[in-house]
Structure 1
Amino acid sequence: MTSGTTPTPQPQAPRTSFLRSATVVAVAMAIMNIAAYGFTLIASRRLMPEQFGAITALLGLLLIGNVASLGLQATGARQLATHTGEGAKELADATLRAGRRSALGLTLLCFVLTPLFMWLLNIDSFVAIVLLAPTLGGLTLMGSQLGVLQGSQRWTELAAVYTASGIGRLVLGGGALIVHPSLDWAMAGLALGAAVPALLGQFFLRGSTGATRKEIREVLRETVHGTHTLLAFFALANADVLIARALLDEKDSGYYAAGLIIAKACLFLPQFVIVLVFPSLANSPGDTGRLRRAIVAVAGLGACAVAGTLILPGLVVEVIGGKEKYAPLGPYTWLFAVAGSAYAVLQLVVYAAIAQQEKRAALAIWIGLVVLVVAAVIVLGTGTATGLNGVKVLAAMTSTCALLLAAGLATGLHRQSTESS
């Protein structure tokens, strides 16, 4: 090299490729969430209040059962991201076969539990409850397929499956309600909608073959652990609405439920970051710098959401339910944005723990849940904080719990990576 030669700039292709992938996945997940919300809006307008309450309860059951799908996705993504050498098709096949076995098991379990669900949810329609089984089966199959696509970093196909999930629910589920507004038709539409992404994922992954029984058992074993950790997280993330219902009066618990719409939006907003960064977290478990950057990205999106609620509280209240009903909540919407953003950070750290195979994460989260419940009973149950003050205090308590757990788990992961290096 001569003295007059300038250094060649480093190529920006990897960064450009990542930004392109992030955009594709973010748009797909936004479409999925908006479509799911669209189905809920159609249901609220086409069904009688009693039937809308029933479909909401059934969607809650699907949310709980979908934890197995998320566990399969995390397992498949981690194993493929950390896989080196030959055998990727066999490993993908093992994940897909484990997904089929899990889907079959959950489908049969739902069929067996149909009488219990009818009694527990006070729903008379046998058909609607039975249709839970194939719906959950389709979602479980999709989870295993998403895990393979995510671990293989096939972002465009991953985005297509996410989009198909949302469009299937909106077009088939919402369309069924438009044609015939009933609980049975709504569940039939949801069952068909859940089959759409599973069929698309099967088409994308049709070349995966050759898994051994040992590989399938390993995927199932790890899935149980991942599912347990995610179940603990979702139990914690949804405990506050039950606490509010139990310890606040009906009006204030209604205010809290409306505020949770903001919190859930802030929780789901940065999910595309978790999807994109999870394979690299699994592939480089000792790279705490990567986790820090991901936390900064998630926290940054949360800060933007909090700023939006501070600048436009009236608009936020109008969106979540109308100023006539929820005007007193306006000055405190930012607290729910903070709570949702705190849970988003915790969710990222939980996935990092799954990627790093940290087996104590679930226990820590269950302990955090117990502490939150005890603290809420002491503060709200004794009347120390009531009315809107109780709403504010509970939102602050959930934020604090989530941030403390995130900090504790992140510190543990850093210590584990330091000890293993």
Structure 2
Amino acid sequence: MTSEMTPDQQPAAPKLGFLRSATVVAVGMAIMNVAAYGFTLFAVHRLIPEQFSAVIALLGLLLIGNVVPLGLQASGARRIATHVGPGRAAIADSLLQAGRRSALGLTAVALLATPLLVWLLHIDSVIAVLLLAPTLGSLTLMGSQLGVLQGSERWTELAGMYMAVGVGRFAFGAGALVIHPSLTSAMIGLAIGAVVPPLVGTVLLRGSTGGTPEQVKEALRETVHGTHALLAFFAIANADALLARALMDGEHSGYYAAGVIVAKACLFLPQFVIVIVFPSLANSPGDTLRLRRSIQAVAALGVCCVLGALLLPDLVVTVAGGKDKYPELGEFAWIFALAGSAYAVLQLVVYAAIAQQEKRAALVIWIGLATLAVAALIVLGADLATGFAAIKVLAAMTAVCALALSAALATGLHRQTADSE
């Protein structure tokens, strides 16, 4: 005689499995982010302001170039997750080959751009700028490896890779600054630290073989579309800081920059949810219930962030820049928390679009970016809102824009699913 599980009991195992996986990935990503932030704090104390500013500028370029590794990871995870039956090793191998080709291409572009970057950024150390190339190459190799691990749902190994990213950056970056505090030393440390994750990934994925040239081309083509969508997302997610810099005076743009730190923390906090659910979104593109629940999970974390900013404004300001420098920030830090949380929801929907291979997502986001820029120019450029009111208005506008784009993209995904049924 067998006993059947009740409906309340049936989802218990999957929920526990999801929580365990989410916890493992969340811890790995938390260590990565804390270590990366720790390097920044270490650098600000070891370097003179001019050199620290150069490090931040070069880190910004790495962030832009990291769109390619993220595109590789997303396309790789989708291809692995949607592959049924034997041959996963060959698919994985094709993705790793695509990663190697992309790494060579991005390294070459960075090397060719070195003279222009030295001139634009007014950096004296040519070596420091040259080191961007191998660093980006290593990150690109890592992106393809992360995609294979994520698509295969090898969460513990994926978390280990994320930890290797943070530990490599802090250990070698900070270590280089201990030996010799200079811009060149910092970039040497970052370049060496960036080699650690792909070395770990090579060991973890050494059994992947058999990828065909056609599979490699398919992986590269899909990477282009995924990278375009992510580029559009990161452009709109960082546009408000540029608009504030252009349309506000020095004091209030500085306040806005401090608020952006709060927004970015709220944006990156739920990333582990996106990492965990992405393979299942790719494997079940018609499962709108899973997407809704994922949005609810990210939104719930966002609500916690907003409440935290409302209830503990002094703590938020201390982390963002200090009560002495930004005494008024606590009054409206919650608006930045709302904006960052809104962009976290948009990021999830963008990844869902990549999982479903919705190629119109990038166009929708670019239109949203243009709309946000025009609205900001009208409201702030015409002095309809000034001072601290302008800060609040711009932050609120970014939140509304992100939520509107999320709704538009999610609706488009639902219609595409309905049309395919």
Query: TM-score scaled by structure 2?
Result: 0.98
Identity %: 70
Distance in 2, matches of 1:233 and 1:7, equals 43
C-alpha displacement at 1:12, in angstroms?
A: 3.6
Distance 1:6 1:69 in 2: 46
The structure-2 alpha-carbon separation of the partners of 1:7 and 1:284, relative to structure 1 and needing over 3 Å to count, comes to closer
Could you say which residue in structure 1 is the equivalent of 2:148?
148
2:93 is the alignment partner of 1:93: yes
1:270 counterpart letter in structure 2 = P
Alignment of 1:363-374 (within 5 A): 363-374=363-374
The residue that corresponds to 1:126 in the other structure is 126
Letter aligned with residue 308 of structure 2: G
Q: Deviations over 1:131-180 (max 9, x none)?
A: 00010001000000000000000000000000000000011011111221
State the shift of 1:13 in Å: 3.2
Give the aligned partner of residue 56 of structure 2.
56
Give the match for residue 270 of structure 1. 270
**Residues 346-367 of structure 1 deviation map (CA, whole Å, 9 limit, x = unaligned):** 0000000000000100000000
1:300-350, Cα deviation, whole Å (9 max, x unpaired): 000001000000101111121111110111110000000000000000000
Q: Classify the secondary structure of the residue corresponding to 1:403.
A: helix
In structure 1, distance between residues paired with 2:300 and 2:179: 43
Question: 1:375 offset after TM fit, Å?
Answer: 0.3
Report the Cα offset of residue 7 of structure 1: 5.6
> One-letter code of the match for 1:45?
H
Q: Which residue of 2 aligns with 1:410?
A: 410
The 1-side partners of 2:4 and 2:14 are apart by 22
Aligned counterparts of 2:344 and 2:4: Cα–Cα separation in 1: 44
Match of 2:400 in 1: 400
- Distance (whole Å) between structure 1 residues aligned to residue 5 and residue 30 of structure 2: 41
Q: Secondary structure at the match of 2:69?
A: helix
Rate the CA distance shift 1:6–1:43 in 2: closer, same or farther, 3 A: closer
CA change 1:213–1:336 in 2 (3 A) is same
Deviations 1:65-98 (A, max 9, x none): 0000000000000000000111100000000000
Alignment-derived partner of residue 179 in structure 1: 179
Q: Unaligned stretches of 5+ in structure 2? A: none
**Matches of 1:85 and 1:368, distance apart in 2:** 40
Q: Any residues of structure 2 matched to 1:374-389 within 5 Å, and which?
A: 374-389=374-389
How far 1:10 sits from its partner (Å)?
Answer: 4.0
Distance 2:113 2:321 in 1: 35
Q: What is the aligned partner in structure 1 of residue 31 from structure 2? A: 31
Q: How many Å separate the matches in 1 of 2:11 and 2:369?
A: 47
CA, structure 1 residues 59+7, in 2 after alignment: closer, same or farther (shift >3 Å)? closer
- What is the rounded CA distance, in whole Å, between the counterparts of 1:151 and 1:385 in structure 2? 47
Could you tell me how far apart the structure 1 residues matched to 2:341 and 2:272 are? 14
Alignment partners' CA distance in 1, 2:120 and 2:41: 25
Q: Which amino acid aligns with 2:47?
A: L
Residue 42 (structure 1) aligned with residue 42 (structure 2): yes
Instruction: State the SS of the aligned residue for 1:357.
Output: coil
Question: 1:78 aligns to what?
Answer: 78
Residue in structure 2 matched with residue 237 of structure 1 by the alignment: 237
Match of 1:222 in 2: 222
Gaps (5+ residues) in structure 1? none
2:69 matched to which residue of 1? Answer: 69
Structure 2 distance, partners of 1:226, 1:397, is 26
Q: 1:183 & 1:364 partners in 2: Cα distance?
A: 39
Displacement over 6 Å in runs of 4+: none
**Structure 1 pair 7–153 and aligned structure 2 pair: CA distance change class (3 A):** closer
Shift in CA distance, 107/6, structure 1 to aligned 2, threshold 3 Å: closer
Q: Which residue of structure 2 aligns with residue 113 of structure 1?
A: 113
Q: How many residues were matched structurally?
A: 419
Q: Which amino acid aligns with 2:83?
A: H
Greater shift, 371-380 or 312-321, is seen at: 312-321
Q: CA deviation at 1:14?
A: 2.7
| Residue 405 to residue 11, structure 1, CA distance change in 2 (3 Å) | closer
- Deviation of 1:17 after TM superposition, in Å, equals 1.9
Q: Deviations over 1:228-280 (max 9, x none)?
A: 00000000000111000000000000000000000000000000000000000
